[in-house]
Amino acid sequence: VSKTVFDLPHKSVLLFLTTLHLFTLTPVAHAEELPDVRLALLRYPGGNFNPRPNGLLRLTWELRRRTSIDSALDIAQVDPSLDDLYSYPFVIWQGDKEFPALPPTAVTHLRQHLNKGGTLWVDVSDGVVNGSFYGSVVRELKRIFPDGELQHLDTSHVLYKAFYLIDRHGGRVLSRSYLEAMFVDNRLAVVISFNDVLGAMSRDAFGEWDHPTGDGGMAARESSYRLAINLVMYALCLDYKEDQVHIPFILQRRR
């Protein structure tokens, strides 16, 4: 009578354990890959609402590559006059020239959006200090929040450690070395970056950079990625990183 491997007790055990190990290590397949977040670009009449079409696309790729966020690979364009705005709590407002006043409905929607917890990232694509696009944005922000006040964002803010520990603001040009922000209920509701951050991130389908960064070089582009990723992280996690700082203390306190 010939013996098979199954007649050998130690081999049977080995086979069993190996099989068990195999199945244990094999993750169950996910049902489908659904995006965690879809970036949305504010589409407004007049002006140039999408001067860096490849910038946000590159950001989605970098989010997927660098973080756990499965960002949708397409960019939504959202009209602030429509209720569709409420499908996108994080909205990017780009431009490089003056634009006319937003319709009153858009102003109302943006006010409600930001009051409810929305985050608006304004990227000044022309990189001009007090330029026409920036002027138009400030004008509209005054309509959205008549009592609101834009202020320099201190680098101690959690935005600077939301994912990367950063102290630079990147960008295609170096117009300003700080961000401006407007708070709602102690939460960052509006963030304005001046250095054309999305321009520095923008690459074409062949991987070529769309815009030079001058003396900033690759460091400026990397800083741009990091700032943009931190902005997305802040929109999704708020001040979570401030919790983290305190966790050891909190856990210790509970002992």
Partner 1 sequence: VISKTYTDWTFVSLSPLPIAWILCAAAFVTIATAWLIWSYWGAQNKRWLLLFRVLTALLVLGFITEPALQIRAVQKVPDRLAIIVDRSQSMQLSSSRGQTRIENVRNVINKSTAELAELSQTHILEWYDLEGPITAATLSTPPIGERTDLLQALEKVRHNTGGRPLAGIVLITDGADNIALRAETLTPDSEALQRLQALDVPVNTLDAASALGFHDIAILEVVTDEFAFVHNTIGIDVTLYNEGFRDLSVPVTLKRNGGIVATQEVQLEENKQRHVIFQTKPDEIGEAVYTISVPTFSGEAILSNNESSVVVQVIRDKIRVLQVCGKPSFDERFLRQFLKENPNVDLISFFILRTPTDEPGPERELSLIPFPVDELFTTQLTSFDVVIFQNFDFRPYKMAHYLPNIRNAVKKGLGFVMLGGVHSFASGGYAGTAIDDILPVRLHAPQIQHGPLIPTLTEAGANHPITDLSATSARNQLLWKQLPPLDWANKVTALSEGATALVNAGDTILVAAKDIEEGRSLSIATDGLWRWRFSPELGGTNPERAYYRFWTNALRWLVRDPEHARVRVTPLRRHFANSARVDVDFTVLSQDYQPVANAALSATLEQIGTTTLNVEDLITDEKGQAHLHYPELDKGAYKVTAKASLGDTEIGHGSGTFIVAPHSIEYDHAAPRVSLLKAIAKATHGYTGDLSDNAWDKLELKNPNVVEINKRQNIELWDNFWALCVAVVLFGADWAYRRRRGYL
Q: Which residues bind partner 1 (CB under 8 A)?
A: 24, 27-34, 36-37, 65-70, 83, 86-87, 89, 109, 112, 116-118, 161-165, 233, 235-241, 243-244, 247, 250-251, 254
Question: To which residue do tokens 């244990």 refer?
Answer: 24
- Considering beta carbons, is residue 150 or 184 the nearer one to partner 1? 184
171 vs 126: CA distance, rounded Å: 11
Q: How far apart are CA 79 and CA 152, in angstroms?
A: 28
Comparison of 172 and 226: residue with beta carbon closer to partner 1: 226
Minimum distance from residue 237 beta carbon to partner 1 (Å): 5
Query: Which residue's CB is nearer to partner 1, number 194 or number 225?
Result: 225
Q: Which is nearer to partner 1, 177 or 244 (CB)?
A: 244
Q: At closest approach, how far in Å is the CB of 42 from partner 1? A: 16
Q: Which residues pair with 40 in a beta bridge?
A: 76, 91
Least Å distance, CB 125 to partner 1, is 26
| Burial group, residue 249, by CB count within 10 angstroms (0-12, 13-18, 19+) | exposed
Q: Smallest distance, Å, CB 129 to partner 1?
A: 29
Q: What angle do CA 141, 147, 151 make, to 5 degrees?
A: 65
The number of beta carbons lying within 10 Å of the beta carbon of residue 253 is 8
